[in-house]
Amino acid sequence: MQMLSYLLGQGVFGFVDGSNTCPSPHVLAGDDISLQVNPLFLHWKQQDQLILSALLSSLSMEVLHLVIGCQSSCSSWHTLERALVSTSNSRIIQLHGSLQDLRQGDKSVTQFIQKAKALFDELAAASRSVSFENFNLYVFCGLLGEFKNLVTSLITKAEPLSYADLHKHLLAHEFLHKSSAATHAPLLPTPSTPPSALVAQRQTFGNSGRSRGRFNGGWRPNQSSSRGNRFASSKPDHRSFQNSSFGDSRQGSWQGNWQRNRGQNPRCQLC
């Protein structure tokens, strides 16, 4: 593509396509008998070799071997055309498939339409240009769903949009959509704790409260054990009475007092 533009810009593309034919190497001299070198041929040959040199320098190593032995720019150009025609057809099919499968995805409008334009230009360079009407359809099919209303309005236009106009409309819609989304954004941040975790925390707190209620309203081991210890400490030691000098009299007195106290104290837990 670049080499073609260069040749057209320099006005020498006729050398490579064969329209600017080579002059005769010799012409008749002034005596109309002898021959002399044609100055036009020398000029043409010089220009042709310059074009051939520029053409060879633009080729990659993969295709340079194809033109080895070619003596003119025209022969080199046609050799490359015949060798690469099958590859060009395959590439054209690939480009059409890429254009049909093109989707915006997570790309911005600018990135998406630039990718489509690159495929469009490459097809044009391969002499398989796509009309702007088909180009618009390829772009519309690849856009996100948020552009549905815009596509509905653009597709009804009588004339297909140019690349610049299409890009302008898509950019404006993208800007308005982002502004609308930012306006309706929530003021408070979303809580980081999921609702299921909050429900589980409330259930755990309620169960722990009910457990404390049953404990406080039911059996009280600390108070019972404290009463048991109090009565146990107040109960006399039998061995001390038996070993004392008072003998059985004190033991019998203690037992009588204990029996009387037993009937008067209903809260005793040891009897």
Q: What is the pLDDT of residues 194-214, one digit of tens each?
A: 555 555 555 555 555 554 544
| Domain ranges for the chain | 2-64, 90-177
**Whole-model pTM?**
0.43
pLDDT per residue as tens digits for the range 22-54: 888 888 887 777 888 889 999 999 999 999 999
- Measured CA to CA, the distance from residue 73 to residue 78 in angstroms comes to 9
Which of 14-23, 97-106, 236-245, 250-259 is predicted least confidently? Answer: 236-245
Higher pLDDT, 78 or 91: 78
Q: What is the pLDDT of residue 87?
A: 64
| pLDDT tier, 160 (very low <50, low <70, confident <90, very high otherwise) | confident
Name the pLDDT band for 187 (thresholds 50, 70, 90). Answer: very low
